[in-house]
């Protein structure tokens, strides 16, 4: 725990919390423009959140405390992940918590809590969404951990700071086959875990095809605002992890104000670009059938496994 | 005599006294006597085990107790860790059993056997020679068998589960017996010290035979696939506190046997291939166990399969430790073994909690079927909270207990990668993937078990009429829950003891695999640290901040209750809720080829018109495929053999005399030829 880490932690939480709705706005705007629509503007998610926050909180009949606490847990897990990951600074606010496994487990914790809240409503849609979400999460887990394995081989540690530090130290490693394969695998995991096309359609209004949206169907008012904010932050955290793990340039290594400002700007630009790219790619994609998703995840798992073995056989 | 010896002798004395007292006191006092005796014996075992794990070892030989060989007892940090775990489980279970047995009523035999079961497990751990180990092992098997059969008069399934358990536990015993006898014969002595000294004299073939036989015997006790078939049968049919004692304490002894005999006595070295076998069996057990649990609709059976899964994870750690030790990476071997031992302790804590809460549900509702449960939060708040905490602990999510040990396990696997050679380059990533898939499926399983079983609305009348359990049962659950919390947040408390246990297995001389104090878990020798306590504090802080932020929103209004969205079709009924079966359906489809579910659809038509459907009956079942494919053919063959053999015994005395004559003649010829 040092000054750089704490400064980074605070800036990252503020940046991710404030910027995540903007990221969602940018992605929707890119999509709207590519589809020939004018789009509501980049600030629309923030305006939606403001509107929701002022509404009356509603508790659906028969739900328990877990249903009311779940949005808070969801925001908390994502915010802690945002605080400990090296986005703006290479050091971490809580060093021992900045393990890549710990971050992955934190994000999974958020998913599981939301799934429980969805089951708690007792509606068929809630149960359906929860069932699908945990299925996808369970199948994405091996890819995630094996990609982490591949990345940790060159750093000798699964600590995020160590991995980012190793990449900064030796930038050419990013272009090694192992690293590139791991990047593709982690990209697929990001899409699956954040519920983007082709795994889940965040803009769907047909209940039968929903995954994430089906879970949040009963939420309204401030609770919904928290859930929406958390899912935007989650996307931001995943894209930020991709950016920091494979392109950590610009990241602050000292606590000087200029370095921090450059780090924050670089992070915003990288995540913005990744998000815009993802949104642009989504325009050309349709949602996969739910039972084709495991094939996609199995493919990404193979890539991750290849990444590990490549890092062994090609390094030897 | 030191504290360890006092603790163990106290445990044995208390258990024996409680057993005798339970036989003679009036039925009204029986549950209290049996439960208190078990809890006190467990407490003595916990204290003694903790002392032994803290470094107070002892060894005592009692030549007069058992004819021919005598009894020889010892405790070192390795057995101390397992004793403390067993004792801790027995304390929770004993307190819980007071209330549970009062509800169901208990006969004199189960009440007397319960404390003896706890004591016999401690005896297995204290054994320091082959005969002592085997005697205690058999005592433990018989005691647990009697306890499994407690409710056999009420439910016929119990008798079948008991038969499976009896046969498999004795086959396992036979394997252990044969393996240890071969070992002792080659080593020239039956005390553990003699075995350790003589292990080097074993020829590779004998070494392999001993290894495989003891692995099969101890592994079947640990629920290792494919020798797990008894576990998901016996655990659900036993009374819940017995299930907890078996699932959280007894299966550990299988792991203890493997670590003690195969790792400690046979020498951690040996061919790497054998340890790869252990690792592979562990990975298969973990994935297969959790997959079956994910499909399972019976709450206690699900927990039984989850035991198989967790023992699989432990075996992955043990196998990796053997692999690393055989290739000279002793530091990592210590790390992998520490991960396995920590997972044993964690699993014991959360599985006790889960089985005890499942027993509480069974007592309150009479239902084990998840499809008929639900809506227990309001009538059973403490049980719901207990199961929820246990489910979190079991699913490897922070701040749960399993998160810490699985993190440690994955770290050991990852750091073994660079120096392990080509075999490790293929095996270790696959093992990490197996651990990851297990962790992911465990989340799905426990979201299902907790969400469908306890949340939403009751799915049957039994669940709607649920009542909370009495205080003694809740206290037992509370103790196990507190143990989970301590292990989850401050693993640094138990890791020094585990480090001593690791060095007691023959990896002595290495630095302890972990360090970093109470708050942070830091790996020694390799880079890696995690702090479950800091993570939890950070999570709570952000949650409080977010809640405060919501309160600070200007113009905030009071919370209002509202109807669920029902598509305008009138109120939703409990029949419309998602069930455990429907929740698991996507996973069942994905793993269709592995679990091979069976579905029957019967369509019956009206008599008048074949085109009108009167009723459709849909039945879906996920049978244990290994049991189906491996055990059924063997059972059928044995049955056929027995039927064929019947022809040899037609009841004619002359023929039997003829058999005797032939046998003696053949024996004499053989002796004449070979001498």
Residues of A in contact with B435 (CB under 8 A): 145
* Structure confidence by residue, pLDDT tens digits, A240-288: 999 999 988 888 888 788 888 999 999 999 999 999 999 999 999 888 8
Interface test with A, best of B291, B295, B444 (most A CBs within 10 A): B444
Residues of A in contact with B540 (CB under 8 A): 76
Nearest to A105 among B398, B417, B450 (CB): B398
Interface touch A59/B560, C-beta < 8 Å: yes
Q: What pLDDT, on the 0 to 100 scale, is given for residue A97?
A: 64
Task: Report percent pLDDT > 90 for chain B.
Answer: 53
Which neighbouring-strand residues pair with B75? B58
Residues of A in contact with B590 (CB under 8 A): 135, 139, 291, 294
Nearest to A135 among B444, B450, B555 (CB): B444
Which neighbouring-strand residues pair with A58? B560
Residues of B in contact with A56 (CB under 8 A): 557-560
Residues of A in contact with B572 (CB under 8 A): 122-124
> Measuring CA to CA, how many Å separate B311 from each of B218, B233, B304?
12, 17, 11
Q: What pLDDT, on the 0 to 100 scale, is given for residue A153?
A: 82
Q: What pLDDT, on the 0 to 100 scale, is given for residue B354?
A: 96
| For residue A70, pLDDT beyond 80 | yes
* Structure confidence by residue, pLDDT tens digits, B446-458: 999 999 999 988 9
Residue A112, min C-alpha distance to chain B (Å)? 7
Place of tokens 């419309």: B576
| For residue B513, pLDDT beyond 70 | no
> In this structure, are residues B170 and B142 in contact, taking their beta carbons and an 8 Å threshold?
no
Residues of A in contact with B526 (CB under 8 A): 156-157
Q: What pLDDT, on the 0 to 100 scale, is given for residue B519?
A: 64
Going by pLDDT thresholds of 50, 70 and 90, the confidence category of residue A315 is low
Interface touch A96/B397, C-beta < 8 Å: no
Interface touch A134/B447, C-beta < 8 Å: yes
Nearest to A83 among B439, B538, B543 (CB): B538
| For residue B205, pLDDT beyond 80 | yes
Nearest to A77 among B374, B539, B586 (CB): B539
Nearest to A115 among B378, B415, B447 (CB): B447
Interface touch A56/B410, C-beta < 8 Å: no
> In this structure, are residues B402 and B392 in contact, taking their beta carbons and an 8 Å threshold?
no
Chain B residue with minimum CA distance to A96:
B530
Interface touch A59/B562, C-beta < 8 Å: yes
Interface touch A97/B531, C-beta < 8 Å: yes
Interface touch B397/A54, C-beta < 8 Å: no
| For residue A1, pLDDT beyond 70 | no
Chain A residue with minimum CA distance to B561:
A59
Extents of the domains making up chain B: 3-515
Task: Report percent pLDDT > 70 for chain B.
Answer: 97
CA dihedral A176, A182, A185, A190 (to 10 degrees): -120
Interface touch B433/A152, C-beta < 8 Å: no
> Measuring CA to CA, how many Å separate A16 from each of A81, A88, A268, B247, B318?
10, 11, 9, 44, 42
Going by pLDDT thresholds of 50, 70 and 90, the confidence category of residue B416 is confident
Interface touch B444/A137, C-beta < 8 Å: yes
3 state DSSP class of A213: helix
Interface touch B576/A226, C-beta < 8 Å: no
Residue B572 forms contact with A (CB below 8 Å): yes
Residues of B in contact with A77 (CB under 8 A): 539
Interface touch B414/A152, C-beta < 8 Å: yes
| For residue B509, pLDDT beyond 60 | no
Compute the mean pLDDT over every residue in chain A, rounded to the nearest whole number.
Answer: 88
Mean pLDDT of B216-230: 92
* Structure confidence by residue, pLDDT tens digits, B235-276: 888 999 999 999 999 999 999 999 998 888 887 556 788 889
Q: What pLDDT, on the 0 to 100 scale, is given for residue B512?
A: 67
Residue B423 forms contact with A (CB below 8 Å): no
Tell me how far apart the alpha carbons of residues B345 and B348 are, in angstroms, rounded to a whole number. Answer: 5
Tell me how far apart the alpha carbons of residues B258 and B253 are, in angstroms, rounded to a whole number. Answer: 9
Going by pLDDT thresholds of 50, 70 and 90, the confidence category of residue B511 is low
| For residue B651, pLDDT beyond 90 | no
Mean pLDDT of B403-420: 84
Residues of A in contact with B456 (CB under 8 A): 62, 119-122, 127
Mean pLDDT of B613-629: 85
Q: What pLDDT, on the 0 to 100 scale, is given for residue B593?
A: 86
Compute the mean pLDDT over every residue in chain B, rounded to the nearest whole number.
Answer: 89
Task: Report percent pLDDT > 70 for chain A.
Answer: 97
Tell me how far apart the alpha carbons of residues B381 and B453 are, in angstroms, rounded to a whole number. Answer: 13
Q: Which of A181-190, A225-234, B567-576 has the lowest mean pLDDT?
A: B567-576
Mean pLDDT of B109-129: 93
Place of tokens 């004395």: B13
3 state DSSP class of A219: coil
Residue B53 forms contact with A (CB below 8 Å): no
Tokens of B658: 């003829």
Q: What pLDDT, on the 0 to 100 scale, is given for residue B442?
A: 95
Residue A134, min C-alpha distance to chain B (Å)? 5
Residue B524 forms contact with A (CB below 8 Å): no
* Structure confidence by residue, pLDDT tens digits, B272-303: 888 899 999 999 999 999 999 999 989 999 99
Indicate whether this complex's ipTM tops 0.90. Answer: yes
* Structure confidence by residue, pLDDT tens digits, B1-20: 688 899 999 999 999 999 99
Q: What pLDDT, on the 0 to 100 scale, is given for residue B523?
A: 75
Mean pLDDT of B550-577: 84
Nearest to B380 by CA among B356, B403, B346: B356
Q: What pLDDT, on the 0 to 100 scale, is given for residue B298?
A: 92
| For residue A159, pLDDT beyond 90 | no
Interface test with B, best of A16, A111, A122 (most B CBs within 10 A): A122
Interface touch B452/A53, C-beta < 8 Å: no
| For residue B572, pLDDT beyond 80 | yes
Give the residue with greater pLDDT, A79 vs A157.
A79
């Amino acid at each position: 725990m040092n000054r750089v880490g704490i400064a980074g932690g605070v800036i990252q939480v503020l940046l991710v919390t404030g910027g995540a709705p903007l990221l969602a706005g940018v992605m929707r705007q890119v999509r709207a423009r590519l589809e020939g629509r004018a789009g509501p503007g980049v600030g629309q998610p923030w305006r939606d959140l403001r509107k929701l926050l002022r509404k009356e909180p509603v508790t659906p009949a028969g739900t328990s405390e877990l249903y009311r606490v779940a949005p808070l847990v969801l925001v908390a897990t994502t915010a802690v992940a945002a605080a400990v990951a090296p986005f703006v600074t290479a050091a971490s606010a809580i060093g021992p918590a900045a393990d890549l496994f710990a971050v992955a487990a934190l994000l999974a914790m958020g998913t599981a809590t939301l799934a429980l809240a969805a089951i708690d409503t007792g509606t068929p849609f809630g149960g359906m969404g929860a069932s699908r979400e945990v299925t996808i999460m369970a199948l994405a887990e091996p890819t995630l951990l094996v990609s982490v394995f591949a990345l940790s081989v060159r750093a000798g540690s699964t600590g995020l700071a160590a991995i980012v530090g190793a990449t900064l130290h030796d930038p050419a490693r990013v272009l090694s086959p192992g690293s590139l394969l791991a990047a593709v695998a982690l990209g697929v995991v990001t899409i699956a875990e954040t519920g983007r096309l082709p795994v889940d359609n965040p803009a769907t209004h047909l209940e039968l095809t929903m995954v994430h949206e089906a879970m949040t169907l009963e939420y309204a008012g401030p609770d919904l605002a928290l859930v929406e904010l958390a899912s935007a932050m989650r996307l931001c955290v995943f894209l930020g992890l991709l950016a920091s793990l494979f392109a950590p340039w610009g990241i602050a290594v000292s606590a000087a104000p200029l370095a921090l400002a450059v780090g924050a700007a670089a992070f915003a630009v990288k995540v913005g670009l990744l998000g815009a790219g993802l949104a642009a790619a989504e325009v050309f994609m349709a949602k996969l059938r739910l039972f084709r998703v495991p094939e996609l995840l199995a493919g990404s798992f193979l890539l991750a496994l290849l990444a590990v073995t490549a890092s062994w056989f090609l390094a030897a | 005599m030191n504290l360890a010896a006092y603790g163990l002798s106290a445990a044995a004395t208390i258990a024996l006294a409680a057993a005798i007292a339970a036989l003679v006191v009036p039925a009204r006092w029986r549950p209290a006597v049996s439960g208190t005796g078990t809890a006190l014996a467990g407490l003595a075992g916990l204290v003694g085990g903790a002392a032994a794990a803290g470094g107070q070892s002892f060894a005592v030989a009692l030549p007069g107790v058992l004819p021919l060989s005598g009894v020889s007892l010892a405790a070192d940090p390795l057995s101390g860790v397992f004793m403390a775990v067993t004792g801790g489980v027995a304390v929770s279970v004993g307190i819980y059993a007071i209330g549970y047995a009062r509800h169901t009523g208990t006969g004199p035999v189960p009440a007397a056997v319960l404390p003896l079961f706890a004591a016999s497990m401690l005896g297995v751990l204290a054994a320091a020679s082959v005969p002592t180990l085997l005697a205690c092992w058999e005592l433990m098997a018989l005691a647990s068998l009697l306890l499994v059969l407690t409710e056999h008069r009420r439910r016929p399934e119990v008798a079948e589960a008991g038969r499976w358990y009896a046969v498999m536990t004795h086959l396992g015993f036979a394997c252990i017996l044969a393996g240890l006898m071969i070992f002792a014969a080659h080593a020239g002595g039956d005390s553990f010290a003699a075995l350790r000294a003589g292990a080097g004299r074993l020829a590779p073939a004998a070494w392999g035979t001993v290894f495989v036989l003891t692995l099969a015997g101890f592994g079947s006790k640990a629920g290792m696939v494919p020798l797990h078939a008894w576990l998901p049968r016996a655990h659900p049919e036993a009374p819940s506190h017995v299930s907890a004692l078996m699932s959280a304490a007894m299966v550990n002894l299988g792991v203890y046997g493997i670590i003690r005999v195969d790792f400690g006595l046979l020498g951690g070295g040996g061919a790497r291939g054998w340890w790869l076998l252990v690792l592979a069996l562990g990975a298969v057990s973990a994935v297969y166990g959790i997959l079956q649990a994910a499909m399972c609709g019976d709450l206690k059976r699900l927990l039984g399969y989850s035991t198989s899964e967790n023992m699989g994870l432990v075996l992955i750690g043990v196998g990796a430790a053997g692999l690393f030790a055989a290739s000279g990476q002793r530091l990592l071997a210590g790390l992998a073994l520490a991960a396995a031992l920590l997972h044993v302790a964690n699993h014991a804590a959360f599985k006790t909690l889960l089985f005890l809460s499942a027993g509480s549900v069974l007592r309150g509702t009479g239902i084990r079927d998840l499809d008929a449960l639900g809506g227990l939060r309001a009538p059973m708040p403490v049980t719901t909270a207990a199961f929820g905490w246990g489910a979190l602990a079991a699913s490897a999510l922070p701040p749960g207990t399993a998160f810490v040990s699985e993190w440690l396990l994955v770290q050991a696997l990852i750091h073994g990668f660079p120096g392990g050679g080509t075999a490790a380059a293929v095996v270790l990533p696959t093992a990490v993937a197996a651990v990851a898939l297990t962790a992911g499926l465990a989340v799905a399983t426990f979201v299902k078990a907790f969400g469908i079983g306890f949340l939403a609305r009751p799915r049957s009348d039994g669940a709607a009429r649920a009542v909370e359990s009495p205080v003694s049962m809740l206290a037992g659950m509370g103790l196990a829950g507190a143990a989970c919390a301590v292990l989850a947040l401050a693993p640094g408390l138990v890791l020094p003891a585990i480090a001593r246990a690791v060095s007691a297995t023959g990896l002595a001389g290495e630095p302890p695999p972990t360090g970093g104090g109470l708050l942070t878990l830091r790996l020694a020798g390799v880079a890696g640290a995690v702090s479950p306590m800091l993570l939890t504090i950070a999570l709570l802080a952000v949650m409080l901040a977010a809640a405060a932020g919501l309160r600070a929103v200007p113009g905030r209004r009071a919370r209002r209750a509202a109807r669920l969205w029902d598509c305008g079709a009138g109120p939703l009924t409990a029949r419309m809720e998602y069930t455990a079966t429907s929740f698991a359906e996507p996973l069942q489809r994905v793993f269709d080829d592995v679990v091979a579910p069976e579905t029957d659809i019967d369509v019956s038509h009206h008599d008048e018109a074949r085109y009108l459907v009167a009723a459709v009956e849909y039945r879906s079942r996920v049978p244990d495929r290994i049991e189906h494919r491996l055990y059924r053919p063997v059972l059928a063959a044995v049955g056929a053999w027995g039927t064929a053999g019947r022809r040899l015994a037609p009841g004619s005395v002359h023929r039997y005399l003829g058999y005797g004559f032939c046998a003696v003649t053949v024996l004499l010829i053989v002796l004449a030829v070979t001498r």
